[in-house]
Amino acid sequence: EYGIEPAAAAVAVAGPAAGGAAAAAEEKTEFDVVLTEAGANKLKVVKAVKEACGLGLKDAKDLVDGAPSTIKEGVAKAEAENLKKLIEAEGAKVELK
């Protein structure tokens, strides 16, 4: 009666929703720094985690021993990348999520 086709409306709604989701994924501003593997030299990794996160020795050791574990949550991209470089320099494997 009004010349509106329901199928065309569904396609129009689906398009922007998918585009919005892709844009949100590209604009991620907060990251979690996750220690995936401590590596061969755990002591240096524990010290790096302790200094970078302001943790006590026991807390830092527990984090490293419990890998994979989240070291810091919700940090800015620059800080997350800096922390990753610092800990990877001691032989550990780190991911940003």
Q: pTM above 0.75?
A: no
How far, in whole angstroms, is CA 82 from its chain's centroid? 13
48-82 tens-digit pLDDT: 989 988 889 999 999 889 878 888 888 888 888 89
DSSP 40: S
pLDDT of residue 7: 53
State the Cα–Cα distance between residues 52 and 59, nearest whole angstrom: 12
Residue 36 has pLDDT above 80, yes or no: yes
User: Which residue ranges make up each domain of the chain?
Assistant: 29-96
CA nearest 79: which of 42, 39, 32? 32
Could you tell me the fold of the domain covering 29-96?
Ribosomal Protein L30; Chain: A, (3.30.1390)
